[in-house]
Copies of this chain bind each other. A is one copy, B any other.
């Protein structure tokens, strides 16, 4: 049987170098790496990762746990993660909770198979027991947007996001500002939605504006759901808001489409602001808070690779406590000062 020794001899390098070159880990020049791989290919040598895992205790495998792979935010974060993880020579094992359906089997069974070197969780609210179970794996864990006790988190200041969206509308002179958020009790990222709405409350309270319960609306994070609730929110011309803060761009697009279908002009009769910098926002001229979604994945992957000793060039060196993610307001033309001539008297 062909062994690593044979490959090393054929390539004219040490066994350690051959091993590094074939595993994709450690520093080996491009040239050496190519030579070793060519030698391995010539000899028909293939690394058995099962055997090498048992020997090194490393699986070269990172687990990613998220609630819904088929929603834009999560698939975009995943895009950022796959890039870094594959570049670093790791496999990515995907655990999709599918809302809550697979939650127990992932936490109780899959993660315990002990073939992961590290775990990244995205947007999950887990309780203490779940967090303890994760920590008991004894491997590095990084969380994006999670509130996992004892686990290093990359966080976006969700309250600041809510506050920024409302502050922008207040600064334009709006006094009738509604909020569409996503606090379904069943949602695994309820805590994020809640914080965004708290930021909105803080902003309108600070401005001394009225808060009407009819203007605090809950929706899914989708265009369709927000479209439906916005139809109701905007139906009564004498009691409708002149501006809407949304917890996501997809929601904001739903509001814009509902406004159009009601014959309301954006921004003359209704200002709308979202969160995300979703690519679709460009077509709708949507004002938004960019939270650099793909970059969140990139950073989390680099932070975990750091801990695994596999930092690549451009590593962020993120440490727990130094891990707040950036935000940036993108002002387009879906927000403007309210035009009182265009709106019926407020009752």
| Interfacial residues, chain A to chain B (CB-CB below 8 A) | 24, 37, 46-51, 53-54, 59-61, 64, 68-72, 74-76, 78-79, 82-83, 86-87, 89, 91-96, 98, 101-102, 105-106, 108-110, 112-115, 222-224, 227, 254, 257, 260, 279-280, 282-284, 294
Contact = CB atoms under 8 A, between A and B. Distances in A.
Contacts of A74: 75
B280 A224 contact: yes
A267 to B, nearest CB: 15
Contact of A115 (B50, B257, B283, B284): B50
A274 to B, nearest CB: 15
A92 B82 CA distance: 13
A93 B95 contact: no
A79 B68 CA distance: 8
Say how many copies of this protein the assembly contains: 2
A46 B48 CA distance: 23
A176 B95 CA distance: 48
Say whether chain A's binding surface is mostly helix, strand, loop, or mixed: helix
Contacts of A71: 75
A78 B74 CA distance: 12
A161 to B, nearest CB: 21
Give the most central of A53, A113, A222: most B CB within 10 Å: A113
Contact of A51 (B54, B60, B283): B54
Contact of A283 (B49, B98, B227): B227
B47 A280 contact: no
Nearest to A96: B82
Q: Which of A72, A75, A98, A260 has the most CB of B within 10 A?
A: A75
B79 A96 contact: yes
A51 B114 CA distance: 10
Contacts of A68: 79
